Amino acid sequence: MAVATQVLQSEWTKIKSVRSTVWTLGLALVVTVALGILISALSKSNFDKLSAKERLTFDPTFTSFAGMGLGQLAMIVFGVLVVSNEYSTGMIRTSLAAVPQRGTFLFSKITIATLLTLVVSMVTSFLAFFLGQAMLGEHKASIGDPDVLRAVIGGGLYMTLITVFSMGVATMLRSPMLSLGILMPFFFLISNILGAVPATKKVAQYFPDQAGRKIMQVITLDDDAPYGPWGGFAIMVLWVVAALVGAYVVLRERDA
Other residues' Cβ atoms within 10 Å of the Cβ of residue 100: 8
Q: How confident is the model at residue 150 (pLDDT cuts 50, 70, 90)?
A: very high
3-class SS of residue 145: coil
> pLDDT per residue over 57-97, tens digit each?
889 999 999 999 899 999 999 999 988 877 777 677 777 77
Q: Mean pLDDT over residues 143-160, rounded?
A: 96
Quick one: pLDDT at residue 108? Answer: 87
Pairwise CA distance, residues 35 & 22, whole Å? 20
CA dihedral 59→229→163→173, nearest 10 degrees, is -120
Quick one: pLDDT at residue 198? Answer: 86
Q: Mean pLDDT over residues 232-253, rounded?
A: 94
Residue 125 has pLDDT above 90, yes or no: yes
- Of the candidates 147, 126, 145, which has an alpha carbon nearest to the alpha carbon of residue 64? 126
Q: Give CA 10 to chain center in angstroms.
A: 24
In terms of residue numbers, what domain contains 137?
A: 2-253
Residue 224 has pLDDT above 90, yes or no: no
Quick one: pLDDT at residue 2? Answer: 55
Do residues 27 and 74 make contact, with C-beta atoms less than 8 angstroms apart? yes
Specify the DSSP class assigned to residue 74. H
- The pLDDT mean for the chain works out to 88
Q: How many domains in the chain?
A: 1
